[in-house]
């Protein structure tokens, strides 16, 4: 049975970044402890939950834009 726990907002100490792991992939959210990183965490978790606990993958130009702004 899959876990029903929500992944944790964590501190990646070497980089000072906030990080969350979704589907075995780390997502860096910005400087740990900032409002912006918490908002990004909330957005990712909302997308992940809405899509059945799988984060949808972007493709093409949109994926490049997302990667560049992450």
Per-residue pLDDT of the chain (70 residues; tens, 9 = 90+): 567 899 999 999 999 999 999 988 999 999 999 999 999 999 999 999 999 998 877 654 544 455 555 5
pLDDT of 70 reads: 52
**Separation of CA 40 from chain center:** 7
Structural domain contains residue 45? yes
pLDDT at 57: 73
| Structural domain that includes position 64 | 10-69
Sign, CA torsion 20/24/28/31: positive
Q: How far is CA 50 from CA 17, 21, 31, in A?
A: 25, 16, 26
| Within-domain flag for 1 | no
Compute the distance between CA of residue 10 and CA of residue 48 in angstroms, rounded to an integer: 17
Does residue 52 belong to any structural domain of this protein? yes
């Amino acid at each position: 049975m899959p876990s029903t726990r929500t992944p944790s907002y964590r501190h990646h100490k070497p980089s000072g970044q906030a990080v969350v792991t979704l589907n075995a992939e780390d997502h860096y959210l910005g400087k740990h402890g900032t409002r912006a990183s918490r908002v990004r965490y909330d957005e990712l978790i909302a997308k992940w939950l809405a899509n059945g606990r799988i984060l949808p993958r972007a493709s093409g130009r949109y994926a490049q834009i997302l990667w560049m702004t992450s």
